[in-house]
Amino acid sequence: MKNTSQVNPLENEAIYIFREVAAQFEKPVLLFSGGKDSITLVRLAQKAFYPAKIPFPLMHIDTGHNFPETIAFRDRLVNELGLELIVRHVQDAIDEGKVREESGKYASRNVLQTTTLLDAIEEFKFDACIGGARRDEEKARAKERIFSVRDDFGQWDEKNQRPELFDMLNGNIELGQNVRVFPISNWTELDVWSYIQREQIEIPSIYFAHTRATFLRDGLIWSAEDAVVYREEDEVVEERLVRFRTVGDMSCTAAVLSGATTISKVVEEIRASSISERGARIDDKRSEAAMEKRKQQGYF
């Protein structure tokens, strides 16, 4: 592991948060999507507890519509690090009639993850779920605390949150409640990429520029290389040089034109960009408050 003697306030804060989670909660879990933010969380957790292993499992809520490159990367990472991985599938909730699969042009399983996540929290009695949300991603996420309490239905009340004065993190919860924890809440997308560059952290290949069969819709670039993304017959498929800034559910995640084939080029590209990575997520465009409503219902 790389020398941590160089002072990095954001890294130090995240490590402090991880150690507070381990000290204050009985059954934490790290929510892992295989994206750059959760991969960064794994590296920070390694540093927080080195030379011991990360003392809690990773959990992935699999929509069944993930990028294959991300799933392959996830499995390889947990094997290499000897970590425990819990996977729960949205398809199971669909089969059990708990949620209904969407259909049509803007169908996505992204929002359906909430039911599977809440079921898994209940199944394993997790009291702290560590996530990779950042304040600059979306305005609803800027309202979160570092320790953000969810009630016994998994719901978030954005108007009734605890103060976090002088970096004092309060993990006291009532029976049935749990806490969402955001160690990189104060990071920006550029901070994450710069950290990945400095730490030489491996990430899935789809974050780098590659040639892909794509089509255009609503000003966004969609992958045409799978059956997950809905495509009209008259939507023309063309090969483009693209990469993905975020690797969520394929059905709602668009690519961006890019020639960035290395981390340093990605950092340069992010530094020059004036658009948030969530601009490539169609599920956030359903309404002005789409993310906030999902979070109130128990979303990540």
Parallel, antiparallel or unpaired: strands 128-130 and 178-181: parallel
Task: Please answer whether residues 192 and 40 qualify as being in contact, where contact means their C-beta atoms are separated by less than 8 angstroms.
Answer: yes
Q: What is the pLDDT along the chain (300 residues), one digit of tens a residue?
A: 655 545 699 999 999 999 999 999 999 999 999 999 999 999 999 999 999 999 999 999 999 999 999 999 999 999 999 999 999 999 999 999 999 998 888 888 888 899 999 999 999 999 999 999 898 877 777 778 899 999 888 888 888 888 888 888 999 999 889 999 999 999 999 999 999 999 999 999 999 999 999 999 988 999 998 888 889 989 999 999 999 998 878 888 899 999 999 999 999 999 988 776 756 555 655 555 666 676 677 766
In SS3 terms, 244-263 reads as CCCCCCHHHECEEECCCCCH
Q: How many CA atoms lie within 13 A of 189 on its CB side?
A: 20
As a whole number of angstroms, the distance between CA 279 and CA 285 comes to: 8
Q: Tell me the whole-structure pTM to 2 decimals.
A: 0.89
What is the rounded (10 degree) CA torsion for 88, 121, 229, 254?
Answer: -130
As a whole number of angstroms, the distance between CA 276 and CA 261 comes to: 20
Residue 3, amino acid: N
